[in-house]
Chain A
Amino acid sequence: MSEQLHDVRLTVNGTTHEVRVPARRLLSDALRHDLGLTGTHVGCEHGVCGACTILVDGAPMRSCLMLAVSAADHELTTVEGLTNEDGSLGPVQQAFAECHGLQCGFCTPGFLTTITAGLRDNPRPTHEEARDMIAGNLCRCTGYQNIVKAVERAAELQGELSS
């Protein structure tokens, strides 16, 4: 009764990986356990908490609701891919550090990817828009106050970079 395996090519943070997985393997599990990219965290496995959010062709997606086999031929970005090329923190990451936007850090990768996509679509969010941007992610530690500040600070940092 052996499980049928599929060869899948996953492109993550610009690097291509070949994995052999059963059809039912979640993308979140493939990233974490097959590729060792453990920065993506799994908080609920039913798509509600947002901790496992990654970017699929730039769009935020819950990697616990995707199968690894369905991620072939897409560009995936995880939290590990958000740092600058020189290894320094990217603007959203930097904003979180400055604003104390994280405590235990477990939900953080999902917020970082979500905000990265959000600021690309809306580089200058109003305060209300900054709150809306993170309204699909759960955090149990911070009470969100400093995460909202981090969204606004990240927008500032990105503005400085592009000006």
Chain B
Amino acid sequence: MTTKLMGQAVQRVEDQRFLRGEGRYVDDVAVGPGTLHAAVLRSPHAHAKILDIDVTDVLDVEGVHAVYTYDDLTGPMAEPLPLLIPHPALTHGRTQYALAKDEVNYVGEAIAFVVAEDRYVAEDAVSRIRVDYEFLPPVVGVEAARAAEHLVHPDVPGNVGARLEQNVGDAPAAIAKAPHRLELDLTVERSACMPMEGRGTVARWDPDVNRLQVWTSTQSSTGVRAAIAVKMGLDLGQVDVITPDVGGGFGVKINHPWPEELLVPMAARVLGRTVKFTEDRREHFISSAHERGQVQHIEVGFDDDGRLLGLDVEFWHDHGAFTPYGLIVPIITSTQLLGPYKPQSYRVVFESLYTNTVMVTPYRGAGRPQGCYAMERTMDAIAAYLGKDRADVRAVNFIQPDEFPYDQGLIFQDGRELEYDSGDYPASLEKIKALIGWDEFPAYQREMAAQGRKVGIGLACYVEGTGVGPYEGAHVHVETSGKVKVATGLTTQGQGHATVFAQLVADELGVKFEDVEVVTGDTRRMPYAVGTFASRAAVMSGSAIHLAAKRTKEKVLKIAAEALEADENDLQIVDGVVSVKGSPGTSIDLGTVSVLSNPLRYAFDEASKAATQFSVGDPGKPPVAEDEEPGLEGKDFYSPERATFASGMHAVIVETDPDTAEITILKYAVVHDCGHLINPMIVEGQIHGGVAQGVGGALYERMAYDESGQLLNASFMDFLMPYVTEIPDGIAIDHLETPSPLNPLGIKGAGEAGVIPSAAVFAAAIEDAEGIPVRAMPISPSELFHLRESQRSQEHSS
């Protein structure tokens, strides 16, 4: 038998094309003359009325083909963009128009769309459009939004888009009578996904077949397809959306349709030419989406061991100017905040607030980093208050392994109960303590202190709901060559799906890994799909592909049994050959089985010739029996009852410079439990990347808006994304594999985990090194320096 590939560090098949420069990203499609290029006029003001748009000068620019403003949009295109995920609590949801109508609400909002011979000319033309504005006062930041002196949208009182409260027991009462009480006020600033490839869309209208073909850098091709069809008044069957290679997503590309995803196809159809829009970096900063920004107030009551008796959390979530993605981020914060713990009572209430800034949609972790930060800062505060070990305080609050499934009593992002399926948090804690050297650290800290050095250690735990529904599907097709073509509808942004899904098919179907080819994100191949987000691809499409391969195998065995005149149970498939166990001479190639599956047998290839020696089918019945279909294919969908909950713990040791307040990472450790691993190399790569984004988010990255709503650091010069020099040299990783009972492979998602505990774990370590409470993240050396100063002046004055 061939070795099972599940669990093996198989090298990635997609790397061959990437390494040769043969990847196909959206901007690589339709290269060369003939393709027109689009540029967008974006609002330079955070909040203004548009009095007039004058495009007369644009038409003088040679090479300009068209310019569109709101007035040129008709029918559904002239309506606001869809609100993808409505929620009853989102009483004042607002979305923008594809091109601004009468008003702009953030710097970067699309106002006009120019199509020209090349991007240079399109940008020339954009600079010639004259807009008269009447300025309105901008609302920037949570504080201004709450104060509501000015409104972002005049019909949204208090700038409050939504207010949502959930209760488990009576937390305020439990806190009131708890032996100990604490309050914390925390903030997390804005950051963003920042994939290396920005957004991009290419569209071509084919008049010969009356169809639109669209390539777009998205996390949901099926979603974009449906949106385009509706907005352009086309039948769904007239629109194909292909997501080619995507240069990173991390969440931002799940929001759809972007204005350009509609305007490009619209222009392509009107002009009868291929049209391309490729976002530049500044546009990505000011016109895609951000995340993270929250202000949190926590009240907690606990007993002498640090056991949570009541937890009462109130937070204010800055969702920017519009809410196309609903309340997903704050709902996840409010529910996943609980992590591996079981407070006896919990109350959470949030307000999701409008500001005149770029809108907020999920960024890797999607609200969990903020929730984890709130919970873990609370744990540290309790430990400090009680003078207890921070790990011990966590341990007394853990859900125990024998308590699963564990219902937290809340409603999760998918509208289902927040019920954890499996996990082993005490075992993870033991592993992370060993990995980082938790018990040895106090001695090390004293030793360093004796040398005048400041070091600190932090620990943070999280639980991540992964693999949310509703479904994904897969189609497996064995060609007469014996090669296996697999399609699943969700998209790929670097996770190695073509490799891990091929591993699953090779295992289930008994074919060579090299003979399996996987296609993702092409609506021509799999028109029903959801998308790649919420660490769901491996769980959802992985399970669907496993099930589809299983169906295919059933058909293979049925046909092969008939051809070989054997019992199905006596057959095995190894390396693409079906044979009778114990009698290897009695065999048939999978390609030949594929020929036999189709009663129409033109002898085009060797497999067809080979098939002539076998006889299948009952001559007394129709060639395709009533419950059969021609072809060797299997299709299936996977739709779980609820999400599966991965978990993990991170620990870090940092050193802070006593003079400069520079923060250096000495050691970083991760314990991760995502159930069974399909490919440990790829899982570890996901963790590495998550940790790096976490380091960025905790120590460097922020969106620096000024009070007028200008983003001051909208470039890679000023938005400090980590280079290798900022990332720890080596990340210690240990896995726990607690299988999920919810899917056939026992897997859980792994994509987002690495970034969830970062703000929490760095705040804890810096606090430990400095002995100063850290309540605002990210933290830069200068901020730490100022924290020291204010601490000193407080000590002097007291």
Q: How far is the CB of B36 from chain A (nearest CB, A)?
A: 12
Interface pair A102/B27, CB less than 8 Å apart: no
Residue of B whose beta carbon sits closest to that of A138 = B721
Q: Knowing A141-B689, A143-B731, say if A105 contacts B11 (CB, 8 Å).
A: no
Q: Knowing A22-B120, A135-B724, A145-B731, say if A103 contacts B495 (CB, 8 Å).
A: yes
Closest 6 CB pairs of A and B: A39-B21, A104-B494, A106-B247, A105-B18, A143-B692, A143-B688
Q: Knowing A36-B31, A46-B281, A102-B19, say if A143 contacts B14 (CB, 8 Å).
A: no
Q: Kindly list chain B residues whose C-beta atoms are within 8 Å of the C-beta of A83.
A: 20
Interface pair A1/B723, CB less than 8 Å apart: no
Interface pair A44/B715, CB less than 8 Å apart: yes
Q: Knowing A100-B681, A140-B689, say if A25 contacts B120 (CB, 8 Å).
A: yes
Interface pair B247/A89, CB less than 8 Å apart: no
> A109–B20 Cα gap in the complex (Å)?
8
A33-B118, A39-B23, A138-B723 are known; give 7 further A-B pairs, CB within 8 A. A38-B28, A46-B717, A48-B717, A98-B11, A103-B494, A112-B19, A146-B688
Cβ of A51 under 8 Å from chain B: yes
Interface pair B715/A105, CB less than 8 Å apart: no
Q: How far is the CB of A60 from chain B (nearest CB, A)?
A: 15
What bracket does the count of chain A residues touching chain B fall in? 35 or more
What bracket does the count of chain B residues touching chain A fall in? 35 or more
Cβ of B62 under 8 Å from chain A: yes
Interface pair B281/A140, CB less than 8 Å apart: no
Residue of A whose beta carbon sits closest to that of B284 = A44
Quick one: CB contact mask for A89-126 with B, threshold 8 Å, 1 for yes?
A: 10001001110101111111100100000000000000
Q: Kindly list chain B residues whose C-beta atoms are within 8 Å of the C-beta of A97.
A: 11-12, 15-16, 19
Cβ of B61 under 8 Å from chain A: yes
Interface of A: prevailing SS: loop
Contacting chain A: which of B194-202, B448-456, B469-477, B638-646? B194-202
Q: Kindly list chain A residues whose C-beta atoms are within 8 Å of the C-beta of B496.
A: 103
Q: Kindly list chain A residues whose C-beta atoms are within 8 Å of the C-beta of B681.
A: 100
Q: Knowing A36-B31, A48-B717, A112-B19, say if A103 contacts B689 (CB, 8 Å).
A: yes
Q: Kindly list chain A residues whose C-beta atoms are within 8 Å of the C-beta of B754.
A: 143
Interface pair A80/B32, CB less than 8 Å apart: no
Residue of A2, A44, A46, A82 contacting most chain B CB atoms (<10 Å): A44
Q: Kindly list chain A residues whose C-beta atoms are within 8 Å of the C-beta of B579.
A: none
Cβ of B246 under 8 Å from chain A: yes
Within 8 A of A (CB), among B656-711: 681-682, 684-685, 687-693
Within 8 A of A (CB), among B485-536: 493-496
Cβ of B739 under 8 Å from chain A: no
Partner of A44, one of B14, B31, B32, B281: B281
Partner of A142, one of B12, B21, B689: B689
Quick one: CB contact mask for A6-49 with B, threshold 8 Å, 1 for yes?
A: 00000000000000001011000100111011111111111011
Q: Kindly list chain A residues whose C-beta atoms are within 8 Å of the C-beta of B687.
A: 143
Within 8 A of A (CB), among B19-35: 19-25, 27-28, 31-32
Interface pair B196/A143, CB less than 8 Å apart: no
> A105–B18 Cα gap in the complex (Å)?
6
24 contacts between A and B (CB under 8 A): A2-B62, A36-B31, A38-B27, A38-B31, A78-B21, A80-B22, A89-B19, A93-B20, A97-B15, A97-B19, A100-B11, A100-B685, A105-B18, A106-B23, A136-B723, A137-B723, A138-B716, A140-B721, A142-B685, A143-B688, A143-B691, A143-B731, A145-B688, A145-B730
Q: Kindly list chain A residues whose C-beta atoms are within 8 Å of the C-beta of B12.
A: 97, 100
> A104–B493 Cα gap in the complex (Å)?
6
> A106–B200 Cα gap in the complex (Å)?
14
Q: Knowing A1-B60, A104-B245, A140-B721, say if A39 contacts B281 (CB, 8 Å).
A: no
Partner of A140, one of B14, B248, B725: B248
A-side residues, CB < 8 A to B, are 1-3, 22, 24-25, 29, 32-34, 36-46, 48-49, 51, 78-80, 82-83, 89, 93, 96-98, 100, 102-109, 112, 127, 131, 134-148
Q: How far is the CB of B29 from chain A (nearest CB, A)?
A: 9
Residue of B whose beta carbon sits closest to that of A50 = B723
Interface pair A140/B20, CB less than 8 Å apart: no
Q: How far is the CB of B289 from chain A (nearest CB, A)?
A: 15
> A134–B725 Cα gap in the complex (Å)?
9
> A90–B656 Cα gap in the complex (Å)?
42
Cβ of B183 under 8 Å from chain A: no
> A144–B31 Cα gap in the complex (Å)?
31
Q: How far is the CB of A158 from chain B (nearest CB, A)?
A: 16
Q: Kindly list chain A residues whose C-beta atoms are within 8 Å of the C-beta of B439.
A: none
Q: How far is the CB of B643 from chain A (nearest CB, A)?
A: 24
Residue of B whose beta carbon sits closest to that of A98 = B11
Interface pair B692/A144, CB less than 8 Å apart: yes
Partner of B21, one of A29, A38, A49, A127: A38
> A32–B29 Cα gap in the complex (Å)?
11
Q: How far is the CB of B629 from chain A (nearest CB, A)?
A: 37
Q: Knowing A41-B247, A97-B19, say if A104 contacts B716 (CB, 8 Å).
A: no
> A63–B195 Cα gap in the complex (Å)?
20
> A100–B119 Cα gap in the complex (Å)?
35
Within 8 A of A (CB), among B715-751: 715-717, 721, 723-725, 727, 729-731
Cβ of B280 under 8 Å from chain A: yes
Residue of B whose beta carbon sits closest to that of A109 = B21
Q: How far is the CB of B61 from chain A (nearest CB, A)?
A: 7
Cβ of B215 under 8 Å from chain A: no
Q: Knowing A38-B28, A140-B689, say if A105 contacts B247 (CB, 8 Å).
A: yes
> A39–B724 Cα gap in the complex (Å)?
23
> A107–B27 Cα gap in the complex (Å)?
14
